[in-house]
Amino acid sequence: MTATLTQLIPLTPPANPQLQDIRTQAAAYLQEETIPTNKNEEWRFTNLAPLLAQTFAAPNQQLPPVNINGLVIPEAPDSRLVFVNGIYAAEYSSIANLPTGVFVGNIAAAIDAGLAVTNYLGKQPGGEEVFTAINTAGINDAAVVWLTKDSSYESPIQLLFIATVDDAAVAIQPRTLIVMEAGSSATLVQEYLHTSIPNHPYFSNSVTEIWLGDTAKLNHTRIQDEDITAIHIGKTAVSQSQHSSYAGNSIDLGSKLSRHNWEIFQIGAQTETNLNGLAMVNGEQESDTHSTIALTKPHGTTNQLHKCIVDDRAHAIFNGKVFVPQAAQQTNAGQLNRNLLLSPTARIDTKPQLEITADNVKCSHGATVSQLEDDEIFYLQSRGLDVETAKILLINAFAVEIIDRIPVASVREKLAVAVKAFKAS
């Protein structure tokens, strides 16, 4: 293992001995890996220099006090799980009144409840990818959501991962495991946030594994709003059995550098996947979304809409891949990346991709890059709006198509406020 990888893995002994084999296997992957550079095609546009310039420590195992007022969603009074600096915070969580068949807790509680966590943890394809392996090699705990067969939960489940750093730069490694057994359904809101960080850089390296059984349904909203000094690299890996449905909504607002790898594996026939993404970056932020949707069975459907709003000297990246092999006949796949540049110095790199070998499919993909139109601004001015208000209204109209697809009202309202606060040049 190189020194560079070692500095990104401040290891502590596993809290549970059942995690040791998982950690050991991931550490073995890292013996063959190095941090990617711009020479690697998958990282060609992503500048990892801010990450490599730091040496990170493990976070203090003693939980610092945090104020979660304003962070919790009112729709989830009894289904909130909180981690602070990657450490389970029972005092801020609220999971005491969940119905039979719905488990929300950390790994220790899941094992105590008799759930076969190690049958799923670290078992998604792609575990050898360097940042995924770094997370797994250092795993001590995880947020676990598990719904048993035919169970459902109407209220959203909120997972809060809060960073709060007051001295040395630290590496935080949030981990989430979602298991939806056959016929189950749920709504999940997963948020990566920060509180009171006085300009201390940190590295948040998150991994989420989602397993959907036959006919299971999950609506998953992922919000990244880390501190502007932070580096956030995340993966969401989803395996879908037949007739299952996954709706993913990814919102990227914070971090100096963020990268989200979305990997979907349709391992059953007649599965449905809908991915919605919105990145809003300004200043010198960089936001990178890489998605892979692999269809392996007939009659699969997938639709992806990803939007980026880029201002100042910020940089947004989108690379979406859809694989349709010979076995995935009668597939219906659509992918669109739309981008709004608000400054002449803003930058977007977009690369939607379809790789099709099946011959009975309906597939499309595309990308657009546009700016605020002068005639649209003039029209709104003629209706009594000033220039800045007109720009904000047009930005909101661009973003609302994604925000309106989120099923939780308070989350939509919070994001609408964030859009209004986003200043155009």
| Residue 359 in domain | no
For the chain, give the mean pLDDT.
91
Strand partners, 179: 146, 211
* Number of structural domains found in the chain: 2
Question: What confidence tier does 2 reach under pLDDT thresholds 50, 70, 90?
Answer: very low
Domain final residue pick, 268, 290, 316 = 268
Q: CA dihedral in degrees (419, 395, 309, 409; nearest 10)?
A: 40
Q: How far apart are CA 133 and CA 35, in angstroms?
A: 11
Q: Kindly report the backbone phi and psi dihedral angles of residue 381, in degrees, each rounded to the nearest multiple of 5, phi listed first.
A: -65, -35
30 found inside a domain: yes
| Last residue of one domain, picked from the residues 268, 285, 312 | 268
Q: Are residues 137 and 252 in the same domain?
A: yes
- Does 274 reside within a domain? no
pLDDT tens digit string along 333-386?
999 999 999 999 999 999 998 888 888 888 888 999 998 887 888 778 888 888
pLDDT at 265 exceeding the cut of 80: yes
In a domain, 332, yes or no: no
Residues 30 and 166 in one domain: yes
* CB contact set of 74 (below 8 Å; sequence gap of 6+): 410
- SS3 helix, strand, coil % of the chain, rounded to 5? 20, 40, 40
DSSP-assigned states of every residue in 111-175: HHTT--GGGTTT-STTTTSHHHHHHHHT----EEEEE-TT-B--SPEEEEEEE--SSS-BEE--E
pLDDT > 50? residue 1? no
Instruction: Determine, yes or no, domain membership for 320.
Output: no
CA 296 to chain centre: 23
Range of the domain at 413: 374-425
In a domain, 421, yes or no: yes
Predicted local distance difference test score (pLDDT) of residue 4:
54
* 383 Cβ contact list (under 8 Å, min separation 6): none
43 lies in some domain = yes
Position 423 scores a pLDDT of 65
| Residue 7, pLDDT above cutoff 70 | no
- Tell me the pLDDT tens digit for each residue of 297-310: 999 999 999 999 99
213, part of any domain: yes
Question: Can you tell me the mean pLDDT for 165-172?
Answer: 81
Is the pLDDT score of 140 beyond 90?
Answer: no
114 and 244 in a single domain? The answer is yes
| Cα–Cα distance for residue pair 422/396, rounded to 1 Å | 9
Cα–Cα distance between 387 and 377 in angstroms, integer?
Answer: 7
Domain boundary among 249, 268, 287: 268
344 Cβ neighbours under 8 A, 6+ residues apart: none
Q: Which pLDDT does position 361 carry in this prediction?
A: 87
Average pLDDT over residues 34-63: 85
Task: State the Cα–Cα distance between residues 73 and 205, nearest whole angstrom.
Answer: 24
